[in-house]
Structure 1
Amino acid sequence: MHALVSQGRFAEAHAVVDDAFVERNGSAGYLLRAWVLAQEQRPADARDAVDWALAIAGPAEAADVFVLAGVVLLAMDEPHAALTAALRASGTDPDGWEPKVLLSDVYRRLGRPADAVAAARRAAAMAPHEVEAHVALARSLWAERGFLGRIPRRSRAEHRAAARRALALGAAPGQLVAPRGGALFGGVGLALFAAVQLYRVGTGDTWGLLAAGVGLAVAVVLVVMAARTGARRTGVSALARITGIRATVRTELVGDPWLWRIAAVRTALLMPLPALVTTGLVADRAWQGHPVPAWAATLLAVAGLTGVSALVLAVPWWYGGMYARRILRYGGFVRTQLTVVGLLAGGTLALAVRGAAVSGLWAAAAVAHFVWTVGGWLTGAVLVSRFHALRRRELFST
C-alpha cells in the first residue's frame, strides 16, 4: 500500500481500499482509506474516514486500529485528536509497546516532553529490540532541549544510549532528531509580550495606543491563521478543532491530578494581563507625560475588567464545571489575582478621573501593574516547574 501511494499510483491504491474492502475490514479498512486520502491531500475526506473508523470501533477493537488512527491524525496535524486515539490504544493493549510509541510522538508534538519521555521509556522497556521504541526515546529526550538548545544534564547519558541503540538496530541518523512541539503557543506568547512593550516606543498618545493595538492585533491574527491553516490541513473547522481539544483536555484531567493544579496556576497568571495592556497603558502614558482623557481611561478600564471576566467565564467552558470549581478555588490564586486586578484598575481609573498630575502616583500605578504581572509570571513559573517535577517523578516511577 505504501509503495503504491509513494509512487503516486493513487488509482491502484483506491482499487485496493474500495467499498468492498472497507466493508470487510471495518475500522481498519476505513483507516487505510483515510491514509490514502491523506496522501492525496484530501483532508476533509480523510478525516471523515477516520471519524467513521473510530465511530464503529467496538470496545474490544484491536489496539492496532487505534494506533493507525493516531498515526493518520498526526500526519494530518491533529495531535489532540491523535492523543485520544493513543489513549484508547493504550487502554486496549496496556502491555503493548506500539501504543506507547504513539503516545510519545503525540506528547512531543504537543510540547510535553516529560510525558513523551515517560511513554517512550515504557516502550523501550517493553520492546528492547524494536527500533521504533528507541527512536521514540531518543526523540523525546532530544525534545527536552532548553533555551540554549542543550539536552538537560540528567538526560544526556540516556539520550546517547538510546541513540546508539536505535542506530545499532538500523535507524537512520535523521530519525533521531525531531522538532519540539508547542511552537504556536510560544509564538502567541511572544506576540502578547510584544503588545505589552510596543506602546512604550510611542512618542505620544496616538502612536502609543496605535502600537499597542497593532501588537495585540498580531497576536489575534496568529491565532486565527493557525486555526484556518489547521482547518485546511485536516478538513475540520476551527470550532470543531477547539471542541476536540477541549474534550481531550477534560479527559486528561480525570486521570492526572497534577494537570488541574497546573491549570489553576496558569489561569491565575493570565488574570493581570488584560489590566496590564489597558489601565497599565493609561498609567504608563501619564507617567511619560501624555495623560489619557478620562473617557478613554474609563473605556480601557472597562475593557480590561471585561477581559478578566471573560477569562473567569472561560474556565468552566473549557475545563467543565467540576474542575472549574477546583481551579478557581485552588490556593486562593484566582481570588487574589481578581482582588489585586480590581484594585489596580480602580486606582488607575480614579487617578484619571481626578486628573492627577503627580508623576509619582502615575509611576507607582504603572510599576505596580508591571511588577504584579511579571512577578506573578515568575512565581507561577516556579510553581508550575515544581508541579511538573513532582508529576514527572510519578510518571517515571510507574
Structure 2
Amino acid sequence: MHALVGQGRFAEAHAVVSDAFVERNGSAGYLLRAWVLAQEQRPAEARDAVDWALAIAGPGEAGDVFVLAGVVLLSLDEAHAALTVALRATGADPDGWEPSVLLSDVYRRLGRVPDAVAAARRAAALAPDEPEAQVALARSLSAGRSPLGRIPRAHRAEHRAAVERALALGAVPGQLVAPRGGALLGGMGFVLFLGVQLYRIETGGTWELLAGGVVLAATFALVATLVNISARRTGISARSRLRGIRATTRTEMVGDEWLWRIAAVHVAAVMPLPVLVTTGLIAARAWHGHPWPLWAAALMAGLALAGVCAIVLAVPWWYGGMFARRIARYGGLFRIQLTAVGLLVGTTLALAVRGRATTTDTWASVAAAHLTWTVGGWLAATALSARLQSHRRRAL
C-alpha cells in the first residue's frame, strides 16, 4: 500500500482498499481508505472515511485503530480532532507506546511543547528500542528551541541522547527536527498590524479614523473568510470544528486541574481589551485635541460593556458551567477586572458629559489609566500563567 501511494498509483491503491476490503476490516479498512484519500489530496472524502471509522468503532476497539485515525487527521491539519482521537487511543491502550507518540505529535502541532515532551518521554520509556519513540522525543524537545534555533539548556543533553539513540536505531536525520510553523510569527505580525492601526486611529484626524476602521473591518472579514475556507476544505464547517475544539478543551480539563486555573488567568487578561479599544480610544483622541460628542462616547461605552459581557458569557459556553464557576472564583480575578472595567468606562463617560470643561491633562490621565491597566494586567497574567505552567510541567 505504501509503495503504491508513494509511486502515485492511487487507482491501484483504491483497488486494494475496495468496498469488500473495507466491509471485511471495519474501522481499520475505512482508515486505510482515508489515508489513501488524504495522500491523494482529497481531504473531504478522507475526513468522511475517518468519521465512518470512528462511528463504527466499538468500545473494545484496539488502540491501533485510533492511532491510525489520529495520523490521518493530523495529515488533514485537524489537530484538535486528532487530539480527541489520541486521548481515546491512550485510553484503549494505556501501556502502548504508539498512542503516546501520536499524542506527542498532536501536542507539538498545537504548540503545547511541555505536553508533547511529556508524552514523548512516556513513549521512549515504554519502548526504548523503537526509533519512532526516540524520534518523537527528539522532535518534541527541538520544538522548544529559541528563535535563534538553540535548544533550551535544560533539554540539550536529553535531546542529544535522543538524537543519537534514534540514529542508532535507523531513523532518518531529517525526521529529528520539528518543522518551525509560521503561526507564532504570523500572530506577532498580526498583533503588530492591529497596533499600528489603533495608533493611527487614536492619533490621527477624522480621515485617519475612518481609514483605520475600514482597514480593521476588512482585515477581520478576510481572516473570517480564510478560516471558513480552511475549515470547509475537509468538509467540516467552522462551527462544527469550533464545537469539536470546545469538547476537547472540556475533556482535558476534567483530567488536569491546572488547565482551568491557567484559563482563568487568560480570561481575566482579555477582559480589559474591549474597554481599551473603545473608551480608551475616546480618552486618547480627546487628549490629542479631538474630543468625541456625548452620543458617540455613550455608544462606545455601551460597546465596551457589551464586549466585556460577551467575554463573561463566553466562559460558560466554552468551558461549561462547572469550570466557568471555578474560573470566575479563582483568585478574585473576575471581580477585580469587572470593578476596574466599570471604573474606566464610568470615568470616561462622566468626563464626556462634562464636555469642554474637561482638560487635556485629565483626558491624558484617563488614557494612561486604560493603557496601564491593560498592559499591566497582561504582564501580571504572563507571570502568573508562567508560574502555573511551571507547576503543571512538574506534575506531568
Question: In the alignment, is the contact (CA less than 8 A) between 2:227 and 2:238 conserved in 1?
Answer: no
Q: Structure 1 residues 379 and 224, CA, compared in 2 at 3 Å: closer, same or farther?
A: farther
Quickly say closer, same or farther: Cα 1:333–1:87, change in 2 above 3 A.
Answer: same
Alignment-derived partner of residue 365 in structure 1: 366
What are the Cα deviations for residues 293-334 of structure 1, in whole angstroms up to 9, with x where unaligned? 222222111111111111111111111111111111211111
**Which amino acid counterpart does residue 249 of structure 1 have in structure 2?**
T
Q: Distance in 1 between matches of 2:352 and 2:193?
A: 25
- The match for 1:191 is 190
Amino acid at match of 2:197: L
Unaligned runs of 5+ in 2: none
Shift of 1:184: 4.3
Instruction: Give, as a single letter, the amino acid of the residue that structure 2 aligns with 1:317.
Output: W
Root mean square deviation of aligned Cα: 1.8
Q: Which amino acid aligns with 1:165?
A: R
Q: Find the counterpart in structure 1 of residue 56 from structure 2.
A: 56
Q: Give the Å deviation of 1:209.
A: 5.0
Shift of 1:216: 5.9
What CA deviation, in whole Å up to 9, does each residue of 1:139-174 have, x standing for no partner? 111111234443221111111111121122222221
Paired residue secondary structure (2:58):
coil
Q: Residue 193 of structure 1: CA displacement?
A: 5.3
Aligned pair count reads 393
- 8 Å CA contact 1:297–1:349 kept in 2: the answer is yes
Distance in structure 2 (CA, Å) of the matches to 1:238 and 1:258:
28
Q: Contact 1:273 / 1:373 at 8 angstroms: preserved in 2?
A: yes
Moved more, 276-285 or 35-44: 35-44
Deviations 1:326-368 (A, max 9, x none): 1112111112111101111111121122114411111111111
Task: State the alpha-carbon separation in 1 of the partners of residues 7 and 258 from structure 2.
Answer: 47
Give 2:327's aligned residue: 327
Match of 1:162 in 2: 162
Query: 1:91–1:318: structure 2 CA closer, same or farther, 3 Å change rule?
Result: same
Q: Deviations over 1:107-151 (max 9, x none)?
A: 000110000000001111111111111111111111112344432
1:103 maps to which residue?
A: 103
Work out the CA distance in 1 between the residues paired with 2:163 and 2:221. 40
Q: Secondary structure at the match of 2:289?
A: coil
1:26 counterpart letter in structure 2 = G
Partner of 1:311: 311
CA distance in 1 between partners of 2:263 and 2:127 (Å): 34
Q: 1:184 to 1:338 in 2, by over 3 A?
A: farther
The answer on whether the counterparts of 1:192 and 1:216 sit within 8 Å (CA) in structure 2 is no
In structure 2, give the amino acid aligned to 1:387: L
Name the CA shift for 1:267/1:176 in 2 (closer, same or farther; >3 Å): same
Q: Return 5+ residue gaps in structure 1 as ranges.
A: none
Q: How does 1:1-398 map to 2 (within 5 A)?
A: 1-180=1-180, 184=183, 187-188=186-187, 190-192=189-191, 194-201=193-200, 202-208=203-209, 210-211=211-212, 214-215=215-216, 217-219=218-220, 221-232=222-233, 234-355=234-355, 356-395=357-396
Task: Give the conservation status (yes or no) of the 8 Å contact 1:5–1:13.
Answer: yes
The letter of the residue matching 2:204 is: T
Moved more, 291-300 or 261-270: 291-300
